[in-house]
Chain A
Amino acid sequence: MANNDLVFQSGRELAAMIKARKISPVELTQAYLDRIAALNPKLNAFITVTKDVALAQAKQAEKDIAAGKYLGALHGLPYAPKDILATKGILTTNGSKVTADWVPNYESTVTERLARSGAVLLGKLNLLEFAMGSGTLSGFGPARNPWHTDYSPSGSSSGSGAALAAYMTPLSIGTDTGGSIRGPASFCGIVGLKQTYGRVSRYGVTTLAWTLDHAGPMTKTVADAAAMLQVIAGHDPRDPTTSREPVPDYSKALTGNVKGLRIGVPKTYFFENQNPESDKATKAAIQKLVEMGATTVDVDVPHAKYAGSAGWIVAMAEAACFHEKRLRQKPELFDPVVRERLEAAKFYSATDYLKALRVRSILQDEMAKVFEKCDVMAVPGGSPASKLEPPETAKSDVKPGSAAPAFRGGNTFIGNMTGYPEIVIPCGFTTAAPTLPLTIGFYAKPFDELNLFRAAYAYESATDWHKKRPTL
């Protein structure tokens, strides 16, 4: 296999080749570095490329594997996290001019665990400023969608979505406070997992909102997401919100068998206001799983429409509190949209915040009832990608002359508000030009990522949407 073809293999395929010593981690890392050098000027997915670190880690992996010290499925595999995870001694910008020169003296738990598993750090990926910027005016300019470069890869894990879709890395870590893993997964046609709140440590991940933030896998395939979660999941004494729930062997879910799996299909909200093609592709994917042996059952989350607006109150109130000092000291360095949101949130009332938390209680109860009836709930992953916003309109959320609609929060915010896990995977492409990816999402009950992987892997194995490549 030519070196430049290696990048098109899945992480699992590459891991098998590394383990069998058919390829060297060094040649694999070099192949990705070459691809990054070729495509990053076009896509702006990477803020920092850690070439020397990557090659040194790859050489170490090669040496250890040759000595019989194989560490597991990620050993020698390159990855790149969103540049909001602290990496000791390596620039960590948070996508912001405010922290453009920050070199942490500590390591996030997630990147520490990945390093311990032998993964190779290719660099740090672009994002919307502090995971909430405009995308256009954030600190390092917008990442671009590889399917159409004048389209957005969504955010806030924009660089992760773009880099994966363009085969610039086989694995990534994104963060998700209202949909920032699953949105880019949807726009870019890749796999995004927001696992249960508390399943993965937030230590060393710059906060957007303490009670909503998650760091999770973004990959090309479901098996790769499972392999990454296996490594990063588990209790961390440095993050008191992490759970002591045992971490199961996720590979056991990768069977392709969905016989008897009960798929909940929501009667209201989740399929409303969707792009018709997203709706159609999602329903077709559910039908495919039914043909494979799953069953469907109607479910309902009656207060789902409140998740977005309530979630926004929680997110921005917590963000304004977290960024209070920086906002006082360096307001002019913030993306204008981020600054506007944080300054407005200073005026939110405690009553509004607490009412939003009462909505969270209602949503958690309703989601718990859903999973008394089913194993997974299937929803459209999101709308197809939209065009990048031009700089002149990206300066503010406010569009004069009309009232803003209630913030809907898509089909993702409910996962952050409730803590329930969701995986988003490709399930088609738009038929009208331009051709853009479509995705389906699966929710499960807390700590039941096994059923997410079971449903998602089975569907992925029976289709080839995830194998399609953008023309670059």
Chain B
Amino acid sequence: MKSKITEKPVSRRKMLQLLAALGITGPAATEILAQSKGGALSPEILKTANALIDQQFSDERLKVVTAALQRNLDQFQIVRDLEIDDSVEPAPIFNAKLR
């Protein structure tokens, strides 16, 4: 029987965990991440994405937003990684009648 292998890119968060397990932290870890394809953001990427959100940020501001957004994406990764059954619909708001 063949085993089913799902290839999934290593997330930035998981990459950092792996690096930490190897004793690589701080600026060294950040540098490795920057060189990896671990989904790290950059101000250039957000500058391009500015058009999508109809707002222009200065270069200086983009650096701040990039770091904050990267942090958020790391925090969300467990939600992105979560596999949810197709039957589960979004609950836009608490609805007592459905509870």
* Chain A residues packing against B (C-beta within 8 Å): 196-198, 210-211, 241, 243, 245, 303, 305-306, 309-310, 312-313, 316, 328, 340-341, 343-348, 352, 354-362, 364, 368, 396-398, 400-407, 418-419, 445-447
21 inter-chain pairs at a CB distance below 8 angstroms, sorted by A residue, are A198-B94, A198-B96, A211-B92, A211-B94, A305-B78, A313-B76, A347-B49, A355-B84, A357-B92, A361-B89, A361-B90, A362-B88, A364-B94, A364-B98, A401-B27, A402-B16, A403-B12, A403-B16, A403-B74, A406-B78, A447-B96
User: Chain B residue with minimal CB distance to A320?
Assistant: B53
Measured between beta carbons, the chain A residues less than 8 angstroms from B90 are 354, 357-358, 360-361
Q: A211-B94, A245-B96 are in contact. Are A306 and B82 (CB under 8 A)?
A: yes
Measured between beta carbons, the chain B residues less than 8 angstroms from A406 are 75, 77-78
Q: A305-B78, A346-B53, A368-B99 are in contact. Are A361 and B71 (CB under 8 A)?
A: no
Measured between beta carbons, the chain A residues less than 8 angstroms from B12 are 403
A425 to B27, CA, bound (A): 43
* Chain B residues packing against A (C-beta within 8 Å): 12-13, 16-17, 20, 25-27, 29-30, 46, 49, 53, 55, 57, 61, 64-65, 67-69, 71-72, 74-80, 82, 84, 88-94, 96, 98-99
Whole-angstrom distance between the Cβ of B16 and the nearest chain A Cβ:
4
B65 to A358, Cβ gap below 8 A?
no
Q: Out of A198, A355, A418, which one reaches B79, CB within 8 Å?
A: A355
A162 to B26, CA, bound (A): 37
A402 to B24, CA, bound (A): 10
A403 to B25, Cβ gap below 8 A?
no
Q: A340-B65, A418-B94 are in contact. List 17 more A-B contacts (CB 8 A).
A: A197-B94, A309-B75, A312-B72, A313-B76, A340-B68, A343-B64, A347-B49, A357-B92, A358-B90, A361-B89, A396-B64, A400-B30, A401-B27, A403-B74, A404-B72, A404-B74, A406-B75
How many residue pairs at the A-B interface have CB separations less than 8 Å? 131
Measured between beta carbons, the chain B residues less than 8 angstroms from A418 are 94
Measured between beta carbons, the chain A residues less than 8 angstroms from B57 are 343
Q: Say whether chain B's binding surface is mostly helix, strand, loop, or mixed.
A: helix
Measured between beta carbons, the chain B residues less than 8 angstroms from A402 are 16, 20, 25-26, 29
Q: A344-B65, A347-B53, A355-B84 are in contact. Are A404 and B99 (CB under 8 A)?
A: no
Q: A344-B69, A404-B71 are in contact. Are A306 and B89 (CB under 8 A)?
A: no
A132 to B25, CA, bound (A): 30
Q: A198-B94, A211-B93, A245-B96 are in contact. Are A343 and B29 (CB under 8 A)?
A: no
Whole-angstrom distance between the Cβ of A245 and the nearest chain B Cβ:
7
- A-B CB proximity, top 6 nearest: A419-B94, A357-B90, A403-B16, A344-B68, A197-B94, A344-B69
